Structure 1
């Protein structure tokens, strides 16, 4: 996605309108020129690439556009690596240690470095050449990293990604987003809910699979302290939403005036016919690191219980609950596992209220010990679910004990 300084939008009243590039010959020509610069820079340093990109920008008034396209090529299609015979920090330590033992002289810095590199090369039994030492000494600086791989996209792919990134940037300052997912194929709901859980968004869901869902997502500026990370999580949801056939959304934004420093309310709306193109694969399951770790550790257990990552929807009057896993035994028993991590008090209150309203007799709650439940005003007493506690990782054995 694009950083804030590369976002381009205009305001019509309260409505915020992000920059959208046309997919035409002129824009494609700019994209082709930038892609060619990256292709020619494979095997060279990031600093050399940056200088080439700066030359392409020149004094053109659309430099932010080119810089935005280049940012996407760097972050999404390029691999930069540190190329050094030893870890640069270790290399610097050894060179400076040799320098401290040397007698001070009036030789130039370049001559001194050449001498020290030769000494270190001899110390390493010529396994590392003097020239490699000089190159690797500061190889960990961004400008010295090497572009080792570049997956060149088609020009229209790059332009579509840019348009999507401009729209995603709108949500960095969202205080609330209301999403209406109209009646769709059930599998589309399931994929959307998976992404909601993957990005750990604070949501409140109303509706049912037959008529559609209204999903309210709290934005980063609704937290006690605005969170850029949470804003990015909301922005990451947009490509997933494009896999849903029928939907519409409205977002409330808190925009800071750069001149007065005051905050103003902005509005943004988007619909399924927006013309944006997603780069997320359809139907591919995504798990959080916590869920993925638990699933991998479960595989090492010797048990007849089968762990499924498929998301089941537990109907609740006017809402829905989405557990993380389902556990099935060959004898027909099955349980649903829901992981409750750290969230703000309002979310915890809604979560535990959902558990009570679900009246589900085969639900297991894995609750983080780091939660301040007392501050949130929630209690686990008399919950209609089996409860296990965890710190950093969920113990598969603890879950198995509950099952058995």
Structure 2
């Protein structure tokens, strides 16, 4: 994402409009120039790369766009900058200074110190260390001296899409409230969205169901007692996940300060699924755990009329939603919901069993690992309105069939 100083937003009344680049020949040419600059800089220092970027920037009026694109290219997704030194630079400096203190300062003494230390390190590290390696590694931990060792060049259009997305993400750095309406979609799309809500530890209140859609209210960073930049970034990171949902809309209230007076002012921002933004997040992975994957693979070898479906049901509970792992459907109309409980943390177990109690499902099957310390978590299986299947390392499909056929 982009730092605040590289965000370009236009305000029309209370409405905020982030800068977006059109995917045209002119902008593609700019992106290609920057990508080529990074490709040629592999093996050189970050300081030299920054100077080359300044040369590209020149006196251009769109210099902030150039800097924004370059900032994205410097990110971990594309570039790898490393400290190249025979030892940790701080340790290397200590050795050089200690050895140099034994002689009178001079050019000859400096060269002799480097040669002596190079020979010593070559023996200790069992590889050749030259005086030039010590000279370049002495301050290799300074940002300008880091070496660009790898660069994964993106497609120019993909870089422009990432820039547009980052500009929109920057809107949420100062959000006080976000209301997201995820309309009726494929259930698996909700699963990805809710997973990222949990991953980024966002404070959200969820209402609705899979048949009609969900309304998700998220508190923004400026609604906290102490505004948190980290929390604002977490909300911004949710947007690429939201783009995998087919139909949605959101409205955000923003707390900004007037550029001239410094006084607080309220802004508004809205977005929907027709926004044209492109996500760089991968689609949802097939399974959450090896236990789920193993169970699904072993189920395929069974000869049974029961059909196994993954993450189809969305069960609304007060203020949240529960998404069971599998649904079992029989041609005669019988349906069971299967939830695998294999994670051991007490907080997770307490929340999971609380969700099961609140779900009100009378067709729920819980597969519980025998390795879990339910007593320590304060959880009692007998208080849960569900059929229970116990397993050790792998969940047996036959054990599940026995329970549901009984």
1:191 paired with 2:188, answer: no
1:268 is aligned to 269
1:53 paired with 2:50, answer: no
- The unaligned stretches of length 5 or more in structure 1 are 288-294, 300-309, 327-331, 343-347, 368-378, 387-396, 398-404
Instruction: Give the 3-state SS of the residue equivalent to 2:277 in structure 1.
Output: coil
- Preserved CA contact (<8 Å) 1:199 1:233: yes
RMSD, aligned α-carbons: 4.0
Mapping 1:261-300, distance limit 5 Å = 261-284=262-285
Instruction: Give the 3-state SS of the residue equivalent to 2:115 in structure 1.
Output: helix
- Preserved CA contact (<8 Å) 1:314 1:320: no
Cα displacement string for residues 106-159 of structure 1 (whole angstroms, at most 9, x for unaligned residues): 525xx5543321121132348311111111111121111111111111211111
- Preserved CA contact (<8 Å) 1:196 1:237: yes
Distance verdict in 2 for CA 1:244–1:112, change over 3 Å: farther
1:167 and 1:314 map into 2 onto residues whose CA distance is: 29
- Preserved CA contact (<8 Å) 2:2 2:68: yes
Instruction: Give the 3-state SS of the residue equivalent to 1:191 in structure 2.
Output: helix
1:372 is aligned to none
- Higher mean alpha-carbon deviation, 277-286 vs 159-168, is at 277-286
Give 1:175 deviation, angstroms: 1.0
- Preserved CA contact (<8 Å) 1:46 1:144: yes
Give 1:260 deviation, angstroms: 3.2
Distance verdict in 2 for CA 1:94–1:118, change over 3 Å: same
Give 1:333 deviation, angstroms: 11
1:250 and 1:340 map into 2 onto residues whose CA distance is: 36
- Higher mean alpha-carbon deviation, 122-131 vs 85-94, is at 122-131
Distance verdict in 2 for CA 1:18–1:334, change over 3 Å: closer
Give 1:49 deviation, angstroms: 0.3
Give 1:99 deviation, angstroms: 2.2
2:63 is aligned to 63
1:315 and 1:157 map into 2 onto residues whose CA distance is: 37
2:7 is aligned to 7
- Preserved CA contact (<8 Å) 1:313 1:320: no
1:107 paired with 2:106, answer: yes
Cα displacement string for residues 210-269 of structure 1 (whole angstroms, at most 9, x for unaligned residues): 111111111111112111111111111111111111110001111123443332111100
Instruction: Give the 3-state SS of the residue equivalent to 2:202 in structure 1.
Output: coil
Distance verdict in 2 for CA 1:296–1:354, change over 3 Å: closer
Distance verdict in 2 for CA 1:64–1:174, change over 3 Å: same
1:354 and 1:254 map into 2 onto residues whose CA distance is: 35
2:20 is aligned to 20
2:388 is aligned to none
- Preserved CA contact (<8 Å) 2:177 2:217: yes
Cα displacement string for residues 136-192 of structure 1 (whole angstroms, at most 9, x for unaligned residues): 111121111111111111211111110000000101111111111111111111121
- Preserved CA contact (<8 Å) 1:316 1:354: no
Mapping 1:204-215, distance limit 5 Å = 204-215=205-216
Mapping 1:76-225, distance limit 5 Å = 76-100=77-101, 102-103=102-103, 105-107=104-106, 112-124=109-121, 125=123, 127-225=128-226
Distance verdict in 2 for CA 1:261–1:380, change over 3 Å: farther
1:226 paired with 2:223, answer: no
Give 1:362 deviation, angstroms: 7.3
- Preserved CA contact (<8 Å) 2:187 2:311: no
Give 1:322 deviation, angstroms: 3.3
Distance verdict in 2 for CA 1:257–1:341, change over 3 Å: farther
1:273 and 1:54 map into 2 onto residues whose CA distance is: 36
- The unaligned stretches of length 5 or more in structure 2 are 294-309, 327-335, 386-391, 393-406
2:299 is aligned to none
1:56 and 1:384 map into 2 onto residues whose CA distance is: 67
Mapping 1:348-367, distance limit 5 Å = 357-359=358-360
1:247 and 1:70 map into 2 onto residues whose CA distance is: 31
2:129 and 2:340 map into 1 onto residues whose CA distance is: 56
Cα displacement string for residues 344-397 of structure 1 (whole angstroms, at most 9, x for unaligned residues): xxxx9x999867633579789x99xxxxxxxxxxx99999669xxxxxxxxxx9
Instruction: Give the 3-state SS of the residue equivalent to 2:27 in structure 1.
Output: helix
2:302 is aligned to none
1:29 is aligned to 29
